[in-house]
Amino acid sequence: MELKAASKDLVARLAGHHAPASGDPVDPYLPTAGNHGYRVARYELDLTYKMSSNNLRGEAVITATATEPLDALRLDLSPHLDVSKVTIDRGRVARYSRPRGKLAVTLAEPLEPGTEFTLTIRYSGNPRPIRGTWGEVGWEELTDGVLVANQPNGAASWFPCDDHPSSKAPFRIRLTTDSPYRAVVTGALVGKKRSGSTTTWEFDLPYPTSTYLVTINLGRYEHLKVGDGAVPVHAFLPADLKRGFRQAFARQTEMIDVFSGLFGPYPFDEYTVVVTDDELEIPLEAMGMSTFGRGTAESGDRDERLIAHELAHQWFGNAVTAAEWKHIWLHEGFACYAEWLWTEFSGGADAGSHALRYYSKLQNSPQDILLADPGPKDMFDDRIYKRGALTLHALRQAVGDTAFFDLLRAWVSTYSGRTATTDDFLRMAADHSPVDLQPLWDAWLFSEPLPPTLGMPHDHPGRR
């Protein structure tokens, strides 16, 4: 199934996560994020933001379906945002409370499983990042603008939501803000209206999307149309960076063509790149969009691998999303290997050369991470990226190029718009392999020490 063809019924059916008992966390890696008892089918956000005072006013209309008997439910929402009113089915006022990091809503009448309902939540406040194990994530003020970096649990910093990657839904976002600033929001721009000193921007995101992949960028940006390829590419950046951008991102449309051949058609209607006027420590991926700091646009071709990495996330992470954070290698290992594939298929060093280099580096690094379940503290460790890429290279060596790339294309085609697990990938790989892959998985995914060689292990003790 291609993501572009996902029907509304399919979107609703696939949007939910596989919930364990209600008392358990949705994801042990983020025990306070995500919620049980319902499945979100759609978010509609109407936001007004005042730049000078960092003041956000919002109304969120959330359509959902009960997955178990419900007399109350919870949403994720930062304590820095105040709720003024909650109604259900666009009329009945609901009682609510604010346990830390949550919005708890008491329903006037219990809902049976399968019942669709709509919550309307009015809220306001001064949004700020959410602090956690990985630093600060979410709404962030720039020197003269805003960016939103939600991964992994920052969406609750600016709207009430079911903040877990397995909870996917379409979005409609209206944002009114000061007219000197351009709003670049996840989705297609479908409306723009200026009124006095403010402009209202409206965006539609029809694809089933995890909350961490929805973003807002506000800045004094100019629009630059990039290339004439099959996929429309747009850039938004400060005017003084245009020349540098054209050099640094010169091969971006070629990357789309290469990856489309290797992984299957680009999953969305268009691709957007935002370059902020501030420096960013790392680039950020979102649904159909990537955000970079100004340093990337001033780097010549030195950051080409980062540009390829963020683009690759459109297939691995955004179209196909990990069902739980422990499967993060399905995002980062794949995007890292895509960097190596880009150089190989664009005239540079082949992936094998990169693999030998990073295998040697990992040999000299602590070997105390389990790739298939690294733990929350280490899930963004660079060793996950590199060992994940090495695992894919070992798989490619084991099955051959034809089967390997057939597998990657089948993976994206089958799971686009959905969430998936490591076991899902292993089962699909078995269907594409002429050899038994269990020794490879035991060595690369389910053991901490590196295998003694880069290729397929032949004499490994097995899964521990």
Residue 313, marked binder: yes
Read off the pTM.
0.93
- Number of Cβ within 10 Å of residue 10's Cβ equals 14
- Residue 1's pLDDT is 29
The better pLDDT of the pair 95, 457 is held by 95
Contact 126, 54 (CB under 8 A): yes
Cα–Cα dist 82/63, whole Å: 21
In the predicted model, is pLDDT for residue 232 greater than 60?
yes
pLDDT at 134: 86
3-state helix/strand/coil string of 293-352: CHHHHCCCCCCHHHHHHHHHCCCECCCEEECCHHHCHHHHHHHHHHHHHHHHHCCCCCHH
Predicted pLDDT at 57: 98
164 labeled binding residue: no
The answer to whether 309 is a known ligand-binding residue is yes
Q: CA nearest 2: which of 322, 260, 212, 328?
A: 260
pLDDT above 60 (res 22): no
Q: What percent of the chain has pLDDT over 90?
A: 89
Average pLDDT (66-91) is 95
Residue with tokens 């991964």: 151
Cis ω before 238 (30° cut-off from 0) = no
What is the structure's pLDDT at 90? 72
Long-range Cβ pairs for the range 21-24 (8 Å, 24+): 22/68
| Residues belonging to the active site | 310, 385
Q: Is-contact 2 414, C-beta < 8 A?
A: no
Structural domains in the chain, sorted by start = 1-210 (2.60.40.1730), 221-314 (3.30.2010.30), 320-444 (1.10.390.10)
Residues 229 and 298: their CA atoms lie apart, in Å, by: 24
